Amino acid sequence: MKVILEKILADFKRDRNPTENTMLAFRGAVTRFIEHAQAKGRATLDEITREDVVEYLNGIQARTSSKKVFDHWITLFFNRALEGGHRKEKMPTIGYRGPADVPRATLKGFTAAELRTMMGREGNLPVRDRAIFNLLVRRPMRIGELVAMKVADVDIENGTLTVVRSKNRNPRVLSIPQEAMEGMKQLTNHGKKPEDSVFGLGPRSMQETVNAIIQRLGVKRNGRSAHAFRHTVIVNMLRSLKLDPAVIGELAGNTPKTIYDHYSKVSLDDTRRASQELDRLFAAGIKEG
């Protein structure tokens, strides 16, 4: 794909005679996106979708205005790739609008069966990934909170961690799951300074790491991101444990209203059980009344 990019850049320079800065912006934006696509296993331009582009733009650290500029260069690249015969079909209009333009997965969380599958295989994960997995699967944490976590935020002696940079800007304290304790000990030792990152990963790298963990543990992502863990934890606290939304909001860094509005919907397991009951009803024969 990078060979195709260089050819398109050469044609673009011949046709438009752009400034050097314009050429650098074009090359830089598209090169980084190509690397993202290849990391996802996209081998050709035809395998890349609009959702891949939006996922990339949402994953990079930049202002929305800057992301829209990247959108412009990536769109130009695909249009020229189509004209040059490097892609068979036109890329659907990307039209990036901002963080709200997140590709929505059909599935929001994980089923009980998927959780059992992952937990049964977590022993095969390396130390860092196992700690990340157990924090996500057992606590209502966000990806950004793991990325921002510093060594000073972890209190191994008391078995707690402080989420300093939360979405609502209010810090909160969570207990460290026993399953993550050994990993957190290792990740916060070995001469690390208090201001050092616990996991050493940026937003994009953390998301890719979590995606790889899900797949390595034998569960298909089906469009789900790391947020599926948080969704599952909160839904279980709300529906299975029947905890007060105010308590859940305190643990999750949300208001009780947000917890109710966004997580009080039925779970995947609920809909699956309903479908099974309906199938049994039809199999037994529907009766009047």
Residue 269 confidence (pLDDT) above 60:
yes
What pLDDT was estimated at residue 169? 64
User: 93 and 51 in contact (C-beta within 8 Å)?
Assistant: no
Burial of 260 (0-12, 13-18, 19+ CB in 10 A): middle
Quickly tell me which residue has 């398109």 as its tokens. 8
Q: Alpha carbon of 136 to those of 139, 141, 171, 228: distances in Å?
A: 6, 6, 18, 9
Q: pLDDT class for 267, splitting at 50, 70, 90?
A: low
User: 105 and 226 in contact (C-beta within 8 Å)?
Assistant: no
User: What's the first-to-final CA gap in the chain, in angstroms?
Assistant: 63
- Over the stretch 192-206, which tens digit does the pLDDT of each residue have? 899 999 999 988 899
Q: pLDDT class for 167, splitting at 50, 70, 90?
A: low
Phi, psi of 111 (to 5 degrees): -80, 165
* Domain boundaries along the sequence of the chain: 2-83, 112-271
For β-strands 154-155 and 172-175, DSSP reports them as unpaired
Residue 162 confidence (pLDDT) above 70:
yes
Q: How far apart are CA 5 and CA 81, in angstroms?
A: 8
How much is the pTM? 0.59
What pLDDT was estimated at residue 136? 96
What pLDDT was estimated at residue 99? 61
For β-strands 172-175 and 160-163, DSSP reports them as antiparallel
| DSSP strands (E only) in 164-213 | 172-175
Q: Which residues contact 153 (CB under 8 A, 6 or more apart)?
A: 161, 162, 163, 164, 198
Please give the radius of gyration of the chain, using alpha carbons only, rounded to the nearest integer.
Answer: 23
Q: How far apart are CA 128 and CA 72, in angstroms?
A: 37
What pLDDT was estimated at residue 224? 81
User: Among residues 125, 34, 136, 120, which one has the least CA distance to residue 77?
Assistant: 34
Q: pLDDT class for 289, splitting at 50, 70, 90?
A: very low
- Over the stretch 64-121, which tens digit does the pLDDT of each residue have? 888 889 999 999 999 999 999 999 888 888 888 776 544 444 567 898 999 999 999 9
DSSP state of 47: G
Q: What is the mean pLDDT of residues 260-275?
A: 71
What pLDDT was estimated at residue 286? 59
Quick one: 112-271 is in which CATH superfamily? Intergrase catalytic core (1.10.443.10)
- Over the stretch 1-41, which tens digit does the pLDDT of each residue have? 889 999 999 999 998 888 999 999 999 999 999 999 998 88
- Over the stretch 117-152, which tens digit does the pLDDT of each residue have? 999 999 999 999 999 999 999 999 998 899 999 999
Q: Which residue has better confidence, 57 or 282? A: 57
Q: Which residues contact 223 (CB under 8 A, 6 or more apart)?
A: 51, 103, 104, 105, 106, 107
SS3 172: strand
Identify the helix (H) or strand (E) that includes residue 113: helix 112-121
